[in-house]
């Protein structure tokens, strides 16, 4: 991990949504990072218990037991090991697409997460939550298990609120 991983993402507003982009540069190969995004036994280490069908049109199901949030949506883009997209929602909720782009950049893996959050929702909260989960992902890649970093969530939520 380097200093670039401590920088906040960007937020733009367009067409009734906030679009947030968060990027991390990772000293692990692209395939290892892809597995963290898609393998149920690894998802639980940094995100939540669940599964993602490995095909466009498949199901993305995640169960955040502590918060009561259940994600149950369709995989809308799938191109291993480069691209994964699904909605951060369940049926009957607004569509909140998240897009993972996993590329090689200067010998490192560049992982970019793009969130689309309806403009009536708390985009700072969404970004801060993902910042915390990205911290958990980076730790899991080093075989270190950490709990949800609530302090990181709070400080980044405040910082994102200042951006919008």
Half-sphere exposure of 7 (CA within 13 A, CB side): 12
What pLDDT, on a 0 to 100 scale, did the predictor assign at position 6? Answer: 66
What pLDDT, on a 0 to 100 scale, did the predictor assign at position 7? Answer: 84
What pLDDT, on a 0 to 100 scale, did the predictor assign at position 3? Answer: 39
CA distance 98 to 20: 10
Q: Which residues contact 71 (CB under 8 A, 6 or more apart)?
A: 48, 50, 60, 61, 62, 63, 64, 86, 87, 88, 89, 90
List the domains of the chain with CATH numbers: 3-163 (3.30.530.20)
pLDDT per residue as tens digits for the range 80-137: 999 999 999 988 999 999 999 999 999 999 999 999 999 999 999 999 999 999 999 9
What pLDDT, on a 0 to 100 scale, did the predictor assign at position 91? Answer: 86
CB 132 within 8 A of CB 8: no
Between these two residues, 4 and 29, which has the higher pLDDT value?
29
What sections of 79-149 are H helices per DSSP?
123-141
The count of other CB atoms within 10 Å of the CB of residue 117 is: 23
The answer to whether residue 1 scores a pLDDT higher than 50 is no
Mapped onto helix, strand or coil, the DSSP state of residue 148 is coil
The answer to whether residue 151 scores a pLDDT higher than 70 is yes
pLDDT per residue as tens digits for the range 29-64: 999 999 999 999 999 999 999 999 999 999 999 999
What sections of 8-142 are H helices per DSSP?
30-38, 40-46, 123-141
Q: Please provide residue 95's backbone torsions phi and psi, each rounded to the nearest 5 degrees.
A: -70, 130
Q: Which of 86, 90, 70 is nearest to 78 (CA)?
A: 86
Average the pLDDT over 14-22 and give the result: 96
């Amino acid at each position: 991990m380097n200093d670039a991983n401590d920088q906040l993402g960007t937020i733009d507003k367009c067409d009734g949504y906030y679009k947030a982009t968060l990027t991390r540069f990772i000293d692990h190969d692209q395939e290892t990072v892809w597995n963290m995004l898609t393998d149920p036994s690894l998802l639980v280490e940094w995100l939540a218990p669940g599964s993602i069908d490995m095909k466009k049109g498949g199901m993305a199901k995640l169960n955040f037991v502590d918060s009561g949030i259940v994600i149950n949506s369709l995989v809308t883009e799938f191109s291993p090991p480069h691209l994964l997209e699904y909605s951060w929602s369940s049926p009957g909720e607004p569509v909140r697409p998240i897009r993972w782009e996993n590329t090689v950049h200067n010998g490192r893996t560049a992982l970019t997460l793009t969130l689309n959050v309806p403009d009536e929702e708390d985009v700072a909260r969404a970004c801060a939550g993902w910042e915390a989960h990205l911290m958990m992902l980076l730790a899991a890649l080093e075989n270190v298990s950490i709990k949800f970093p609530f302090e990181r969530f709070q400080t980044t939520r405040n910082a994102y609120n200042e951006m919008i």
